[in-house]
Structure 1
Amino acid sequence: MIRIILGEDQRLLRGALVTLLSLEDDIEVVGEAENGEEAISLIQQHQPDIAVLDIEMPLKTGLDVAEWIQNTKVTCRVIILTTFARPGYFQRAMQSGVYGYMLKDTGSEEISDAIRQVYQGKRVINAELSLAVWEDQCPLSAREREVMKLAAQGLTLQEIGAQLFLSYGTVRNYMSEAIGKLSANTRIEAIDIARNKGWLD
């Protein structure tokens, strides 16, 4: 029997998934969480084989939980469910040792099959998501992303320079390059584009 916990903050969707997965003879849902902190608590309590987690839960995201599992060496594999094909999220998921990465509108049979494959140690990545990531790589350098992240927090260029030990002119150049690479007209527009792609997470 494959023991799983399910983390999803939308109650209706969580209930539907639990019902559908419970129909499978070899899958048992041993816990349901509506936020990331609850998911961690259930993982510690039940020690499931697999955690199926929504990527955007309150308190801690599915990716936060995956990173916690990786850092604490807990023997629980993670399948992430997401609504959007955000390249930044996907890259972070892979770095966090996630085994599965699937769209929320995937059929229950496909999710059940993914659970079985992940249980066997295989990785399962939704084809549509992997194609979107392949075609939409982040054009920003690590330093440009760092500057953009701080700007997104509301810091001025002077404040960013002080925090990163860079001159005002250098920070302005990084921001200008980032705006150009994202084909944006303003700093705000560039931040919105990068945030929507998941590149500032």
Structure 2
Amino acid sequence: MEDFPFPISDLMKLFFFNIRDWLGKKSEFEILDQQFQIKKNNQEDVIEFWENIPYAQKSRSVLLLAQSIFRRYIKLPLLIIAKNIGRILLRQSPEWYEDFQDWNREIYLKCNYNGLQFSKTEFPKNWLIEGFQIKILYPFHLKPWHRSKLRLSDRDRKQQDDFDSCFLTVLGMETEYPFGPPRKTPSFFEPIFKDIDYKV
């Protein structure tokens, strides 16, 4: 057998890397690494912003606590009431029970500054000085209507039972990770517009 100037495995690697570069595709690892770096940079920018403000952790902690109380006991119940009054005015059956059942499913966890879960009721030690996070399990999103359990497909049932969590921001928005950018939440009106388009 004739000897090659370098091993065949190196030839194959060179060939496949050239094809990958030619196609312009990145490996899954490279994409995940790139996304992680972007998240990390965003997170570091926000942390740096809060660290440059005097009494930042105290004010941020109080704002977070106020936002969680406002969201839980004022904003979401008012949205449920408005939606169901609208349904009554449109001569549709109200969904008080279903909406408040979804609302009761929402759980608020106090976490330390880095996002590690601590407790549902107790605050982390020195939370006012060091800061803390609020993690929401099964965050409530208002739906224009609830599908009947009988009509739910297996896929819809799975989506309904999927675990979801987020962190609360100082502005009352949801984010995927502590100090992250606000995430897109499901639109209340999107299913309505889809239904109108389907009927037209």
**What TM bracket, shorter-length normalisation?**
under 0.3
TM-score for the superposition, normalised by structure 2: 0.20
The structure that is strand-richer by fraction is 1
Q: Which of these two proteins has the greater Rg computed from alpha carbons? A: 2
TM-score for the superposition, normalised by structure 1: 0.20
